[in-house]
Amino acid sequence: MGKVEALIFDMDGLIFDSERVVQRSWNEAGTALGYGRVGEQIYHTLGFNVKRREAYFKSIYGQDFPMEEFGNLTRKVFYDIAESEGIAMKKGVRELMDFARERGIRIGLATSSRQEYSARQLTEAGIWEYFDGCVFGDMVTKAKPDPEIYLKACEAVGVCPAKSMALEDAPAGIRASHAAGMIPVMVPDLVEPTEEIRKLCYRRVDSLIDVILLVEELEK
């Protein structure tokens, strides 16, 4: 496999402990709109972009599900929570990024979230300047598990997929990065990998700190 030349990060649930806040916002919005606590659907939509999530919600709650209103309400609740409580960064984010910089390893982003939201989160966390290239959910036509976003992220940092390690918390992202020909590593957040997903992973680790050891292992 050889030396890793790029680390491509997912964002929600990997860099930020944000998926639980999203789940809370879905519950509040769903209840307010008369659909009840819809937050459980997050387990089925991890890694989805806006378009794919809308199709999923309408398949569950009917074609008249008010996705635009739901989206506006969830964003308001999410930002209210973020402002009052903050969104914590996951363990090892900065340490891994500093390690990558010291080794000359490129750093990329492949997130299903929109550019405006993502850039704001990364800037407020003080890590925006670490990234050599970013691809957001509103920059691709096909959502994870399609490999499009990861192929574009590798292109954005100028490293071929075979030399790029994808860091993911969600099954859809593992499928996408594996299909792109990368080195998929899962750092679980809300869901543990199934046996099928484990077979697609190079490794499953507990935190981003453990990724430092993986990169060093591949250099030997």
- 12 included as an active-site residue: yes
What region does 100 belong to: left with phi over 0, alpha with psi -120 to 50, or beta?
A: alpha
Catalytic-labelled residue, pool 12, 146, 169, 189: 12
Distances (CA, A) of 91 to 42, 46, 211: 22, 20, 11
Residue of 10, 146, 169, 189 marked catalytic: 10
Question: Within 13 Å, how many C-alpha atoms sit on residue 31's CB side?
Answer: 10
Which residues have CB under 8 Å from 130's CB, separation 6+?
A: 97, 100, 101, 107
Which residues, at least 6 apart from 15, have a Cβ–Cβ distance to it below 8 Å? 9, 89, 90, 93, 122, 125, 127
Helix axes 148-157, 171-179, angle to 10 degrees: 60
Burial class (CB in 10 A: 0-12, 13-18, 19+), 7: buried
Closest to 208 (Cα-Cα) out of 127, 118, 90: 90
Strand ranges, E, within 46-110: 106-110
CA distance 98 to 181: 25
Catalytic residues: 10, 12
